[in-house]
Amino acid sequence: MTRNIKFILNNEFINADVNPAGVILDFIRDNQLTGTKEGCKEGDCGACTVLIGELKNDEVVYKSINSCLFPLGNVHGKHVVTIEGINQSGKELTPIQQAFVEEGASQCGFCTPGFIISLTGYLLSAESLDAKDALYSMDGNICRCTGHNSIIRAAERITSKFNKLTGQSENKIQVLADYGFVPDYFLHIKERLSKIDKAEFHREVNGDSTYFVSGGSDLFVQIPDVMMKSTIKFLYDNPEIKFIREENGHILIGSTSTVNEVLNSKIMLTYFPSLFNFIELFGSLPIRNSATIGGNLNNASPIGDMTSFFLGLNSTIVLADRDDNLREIPMRDYYLSYKKTARNGDEYMKYLYFKIPTKPYYFNFEKVSKRTYLDIASVNSTILIETSDDIISDVHISAGGVSAIPLYLRKTRDFLLNKTLSVDLIKDAVEMAGNEAAPISDARGAADYKKLLLKRLLFSHFIKLFPEIISIKDTVID
Ligand SMILES: Cc1cc2nc3c(=O)[nH]c(=O)nc-3n(C[C@H](O)[C@H](O)[C@H](O)COP(=O)(O)OP(=O)(O)OC[C@H]3O[C@@H](n4cnc5c(N)ncnc54)[C@H](O)[C@@H]3O)c2cc1C
Ligand code: FES
Ligand code: FES
């Protein structure tokens, strides 16, 4: 077993004996690749965006991540692409760089590498080009001086000029290289990556205290220095816990499935067609590419969005210890007190599962935050209702941000069960949910305000799901 991390950085093979808890941004910049910028170092600005390419089903799949939060331990066997790596000619600009020049989309230039990388990642991954999707790919990139309109125009210029490009050939990378979007060395990355033994990297590193690390998007914001001295167990690339599958009437989700993998899962979209509307409120695209379900649930924040989502589906968590002995805990019993779960120190979450709801069923997620995008929730809530002959045959409701733990509204559930929906029933249930909540006042709002928010979110669930029964005018507070 080796502790060395092997990966390809742009066109260069790296075999480095480094602390795997260092973040890729520091490694890149220490190696004189200073085009990638350090802005916030908290995942908020996108100046540090790089592409990570990974071999999947015999092709290299690229995604954007925030290098300021992505540990080196997560890049073994992968291709890391910085702004220097997409234009190695030193003479001509790539079509995306050219579009930025023509639209005046760069002034101080601090944000520009991040935008260019995100758009290049979009071209490398998109099936067909579309201005709206190109804009979506830059989600999380912030420009402080140009104003975003010229950047949006540059993206539109690319998508309209090259919209036939992606359908031209089976070999998309060849087409992109032919048009100068990426250098020719991209054509050989697949073969080069296949020569790196992914299992070779020692996924446990010894230090003082012990941490499981998945995407790192919580840990490397909170305690990057502690991570450098800790015993780390890297989970992100463990293939055994990266899956989404349907089995015997249940959906099983491996703990290192990322938020974006859940969002794009055909299985999840079959049963939850509005998934995009719920999950687009989670962080930004690069964060969704690294943030995992296991990380969200085990961070145990009372306002975790995926925690609310899966608690509302009445999920069960499956834990494994060192010897792979499994233990199951219903999510509603998993959270014991603030940030404390029923998981023992040597156990990690392997996967969760939940029953596929019986039709007809109604599902909704609501989130209110101080800023609509790229912000954690002040309060969030999820509801699942199954009905039979207009009677509520099953119901689960979660509420985040209104207690020290992610709350499963047990009393409100019991109250609603086996009843027929009506305006009066909904009003009584909302009142009961408000009484189950015990929020505290903090930077996200006063306790009374959060309680009121929860009640309004519950009304939103019912108004969206049962517009024939209740409308906004029924919920006006006297
Ligand atoms: C800019 C930004 C925006 C964000 N926006 C949102 C948002 O909108 N909504 C939201 O809910 N969160 C948000 N987050 C928080 C974070 O991205 C999520 O909580 C994410 O899901 C954490 O997953 P991770 O894999 O990155 O966790 P990590 O940082 O790797 O780990 C988080 C915690 O979980 C533990 N852990 C990880 N995997 C396991 C496992 N399999 N078993 C046991 N323990 C494990 C770790 O030890 C650690 O304590 C945001 C973060 C940033 C930086
Ligand atoms: S430096 Fe701002 S997102 Fe990484
Ligand atoms: S050009 Fe200055 S921050 Fe975007």
The atom number, within ligand 1, closest to the CA of 305 reads 11
pLDDT tens digits along 150-186: 999 999 999 998 887 766 667 889 999 999 999 999 9
Residue 334 and residue 440 in one domain:
yes
Residue 188 and residue 303 in one domain:
no
423-438 average pLDDT score = 95
The mean predicted confidence, pLDDT, of the chain is 93
60-86 average pLDDT score = 97
Instruction: Count Cβ atoms below 10 Å from residue 112 Cβ, excluding itself.
Output: 22
Q: Is 45 in the pocket of ligand 2 (CB under 6 A)?
A: yes
- State the distance from the centre of ligand 3 to the C-alpha of 114, rounded, in angstroms: 10
- State the distance from the centre of ligand 1 to the C-alpha of 297, rounded, in angstroms: 8
Q: Measure the CA–CA gap between 132 and 69, rounded to whole angstroms.
A: 27
Q: Is 457 in the pocket of ligand 3 (CB under 6 A)?
A: no
pLDDT computed for residue 1 by the predictor:
41
**CA neighbor of 257 nearest in space, from 224, 285, 295, 221:** 295
- State the distance from the centre of ligand 3 to the C-alpha of 126, rounded, in angstroms: 26
Residue 283 and residue 230 in one domain:
no
Q: How far is CA 315 from the centre of its chain?
A: 19
Quick one: what percent of the chain has pLDDT higher than 70?
96
3-14 average pLDDT score = 93
Q: What are phi and psi of 459, to 5 degrees?
A: -60, -40
**Residues 6+ away with beta carbon under 8 Å from 21:** 71, 72, 73, 205, 207, 213, 227, 228, 230, 232
- State the distance from the centre of ligand 1 to the C-alpha of 236, rounded, in angstroms: 12
Q: Measure the CA–CA gap between 275 and 251, rounded to whole angstroms.
A: 15
Residue 230 and residue 329 in one domain:
no
Residue 170 and residue 111 in one domain:
yes
Owning domain of residue 203: 199-234
pLDDT computed for residue 248 by the predictor:
97
Residue 31 and residue 96 in one domain:
yes
- Token digits of residue 126: 């998109």
Residue 390 and residue 405 in one domain:
yes
Which of residues 170 and 443 earns the better pLDDT score?
443
Residue 299 and residue 357 in one domain:
yes
Q: Is 141 in the pocket of ligand 3 (CB under 6 A)?
A: no
The atom number, within ligand 3, closest to the CA of 108 reads 2
Integer angstrom CA distances of residue 335 from 48, 53, 294, 342, 343: 34, 36, 14, 6, 9
32-45 average pLDDT score = 96
For the cut 70, the answer to whether the pLDDT of residue 50 exceeds it is yes
Q: Is 315 in the pocket of ligand 2 (CB under 6 A)?
A: no
What is the amino acid identity at position 190?
K
Residue 228 and residue 244 in one domain:
no
- State the distance from the centre of ligand 2 to the C-alpha of 227, rounded, in angstroms: 18
Q: Measure the CA–CA gap between 48 and 44, rounded to whole angstroms.
A: 10
Ligand nearest to the CA of 111: 3
**CATH assignment at residue 72:** 3.10.20.30
Domain-terminating residue out of 211, 234, 257: 234
- State the distance from the centre of ligand 3 to the C-alpha of 432, rounded, in angstroms: 49
**CA neighbor of 283 nearest in space, from 46, 38, 464:** 46
For the cut 60, the answer to whether the pLDDT of residue 129 exceeds it is yes
Number of folded domains in the chain?
3
**Nearest C-alpha to atom 3 of ligand 2 is from which residue?**
43
**CA neighbor of 330 nearest in space, from 300, 354, 362, 346:** 354
**CATH assignment at residue 298:** 3.30.465.10
Q: Provide the whole-model pTM.
A: 0.96
Residue 314 and residue 386 in one domain:
yes
pLDDT tens digits along 274-313: 999 998 889 999 999 999 999 999 999 999 999 999 999 9
pLDDT computed for residue 476 by the predictor:
81
Residue 339 and residue 397 in one domain:
yes
- As beta bridge partners, residue 396 has 384
pLDDT class for 80, splitting at 50, 70, 90?
very high
pLDDT tens digits along 175-215: 999 999 999 999 999 999 999 988 877 766 666 678 999 99
**Nearest C-alpha to atom 4 of ligand 3 is from which residue?**
143
Domain-terminating residue out of 234, 258, 286: 234
pLDDT computed for residue 89 by the predictor:
80
pLDDT computed for residue 246 by the predictor:
98
Residue 284 and residue 359 in one domain:
yes
Domain-terminating residue out of 194, 225, 251: 194
For the cut 50, the answer to whether the pLDDT of residue 2 exceeds it is no
